[in-house]
Amino acid sequence: MFDLVDSLKKNKKADIEIEQEKIGTVLFYQTEECKKLVEEAYRFEGVAPPTVSKNTKDDITEYVRKSDIEIVIVELNNSSDVSKEAEFVSHLLPNHASVIVIGSEDAISTIRNLKAMGFYYLFWPITKQELIDFVRSVNDNRKRNSNRGPGQNRRAKYISVIGAKGGVGATFICAELSYLLSAHKKSSCLVVDQNYSTGDLDIMMGIRDYERRKVQQGDISSLDESFAQSLTFRQNSLLSVLSLTSDNLDSGSLLDYSNAVVDLLASDVNFIIEDCSSSVGFSIESDRFIGQCDCIVLVMSPTVSSVRDAARMREKIQKINQSDSLRLILVMNNTLPKKAQTLSLNDAEAFLKQKIDIEIPYCEEISFYILDDKRIAKTALKAAKPLKELTSVVLGESTEVKKTKRSLFSFGSSDKK
């Protein structure tokens, strides 16, 4: 006999088990109008509501690292320069998430710039249906691992810290830069040690009892993302180190191996920071880093030989480089007290025919702090401030536009002061 009450109970149970469509989304909004539209669009379509927060640096840092985030929506309707504002927050956003920028800037250049960053762009005003259709399209691309869409272009920014000579402090600056980017700027970083048999990167970073990962010739054939991850040392949730060595591979083969590992991990972090110290005979010609590098930090000390080598290295970089967007930042690291220096900052700038971007003063206490596992940028030493300034220059946050926005090939030009 048909039991109506029992049937209704079953139907009610079935209704309860129906789950909302889930698209892990976080919205960083500037206007209440946009916030309301996004929330209503998700609610009307039966999609699990997004996490919502104001578009501030602190809020982005707090919410965006959640592992279940699939799509990040960033409203920039109140921004005077959408591309510039998007670039400022790009280092805070995890590469595993797809990013949709909402803005009212109707320009082809804006779409092109955001696409180059790996961001999608939605022109405001939009309807609720347009928004949810766009979000679903982006999410479908993610599920299919599709190569379509700008999100596939997102990769880590490459920064190479190279020393004009051995002993100028390139490893020290690399360690401090990685600390500031991860701890202060909340960006995920992979530090790559390109010194395969020597070097003190672990000491500079305050890592105890760390040994380089040993690799063999045949390992590269089975290299995948999981194996690549196992070769890194995770200092904390935002900072990892790749340091390889081998009993049977030469430096050239190890460089190729290291580059292959970095290729697999480049989509998982915001920054790849290479320690390319000249103390082990680092050769620009032997590496492909210029072709993929976004920023080179060239470190020298106030000696004639160091500045001359810096000039030679700069010329090599200019000769090999084919990208107008590559940025070269010059750093003078005073590793000796003034009485032991053979030339001044003005002498170095006159020889180089350009301004030196950052000067780090000599501090006798630095080595003691480092051996005590303390970050110099966190201390009250005179060297702390220029290290923070260097990080800002790398991120394009400096107010001195001429220093940070020049093309590599404009160095020594008429804008010199």
The answer to whether residues 44 and 62 belong to one domain is yes
Q: How far apart are CA 290 and CA 158, in angstroms?
A: 10
Q: How far apart are CA 220 and CA 227, in angstroms?
A: 10
Residue 416: inside a domain: no
How many domains would you assign to the chain?
A: 2
Q: Which two tokens stand for residue 213?
A: 């990962």
Q: Do residues 332 and 300 make contact, with C-beta atoms less than 8 angstroms apart? A: yes
Q: How far apart are CA 381 and CA 379, in angstroms?
A: 5
Q: How far apart are the first and last CA of the chain?
A: 96
Band (pLDDT 50/70/90 cuts) for residue 34 is: very high
Measured CA to CA in angstroms, residue 308 lies from 160, 165, 312 at distances of 20, 10, 6
Q: Which of 108, 130, 153 is a domain's end point?
A: 153
Q: Do residues 49 and 43 make contact, with C-beta atoms less than 8 angstroms apart? A: yes
Amino acid 7: pLDDT: 56
The answer to whether residues 212 and 131 belong to one domain is no
Q: Which two tokens stand for residue 31?
A: 């206007």
Query: What is the DSSP secondary structure assignment for residue 180, as one 8-state letter?
Result: I
H/E stretch holding 103 = strand 98-103
Residue 244: inside a domain: yes
pTM for the whole structure: 0.77
Amino acid 188: pLDDT: 92
Residue 304: inside a domain: yes
The answer to whether residues 327 and 379 belong to one domain is yes
Q: What is the domain range of residue 274?
A: 157-409
Amino acid 391: pLDDT: 95
Measured CA to CA in angstroms, residue 315 lies from 267, 330, 391 at distances of 31, 13, 24
Q: Do residues 244 and 213 make contact, with C-beta atoms less than 8 angstroms apart? A: yes
The answer to whether residues 271 and 201 belong to one domain is yes
Q: What is the mean pLDDT of residues 314-327?
A: 84
Other C-beta atoms lying within 10 Å of the C-beta of residue 132: 21
pLDDT in tens, 94-140: 888 899 999 999 999 999 999 988 899 999 999 999 999 999 999 98
Residues in Cβ contact with 119 at an 8 Å cutoff, skipping those fewer than 6 apart: 86, 90, 99, 100, 101, 150, 151, 154
Measured CA to CA in angstroms, residue 93 lies from 63, 278, 340 at distances of 10, 33, 45
The answer to whether residues 215 and 318 belong to one domain is yes
How confident is the prediction for the chain on average, in pLDDT? 84
Query: 62: helix, coil or strand?
Result: helix
- Which ranges in 20-74 belong to alpha helices (H)? 32-44, 57-63
pLDDT in tens, 53-68: 999 988 888 777 665 7
Instruction: Give yes or no for residue 242 having a pLDDT over 80.
Output: yes
The answer to whether residues 129 and 166 belong to one domain is no
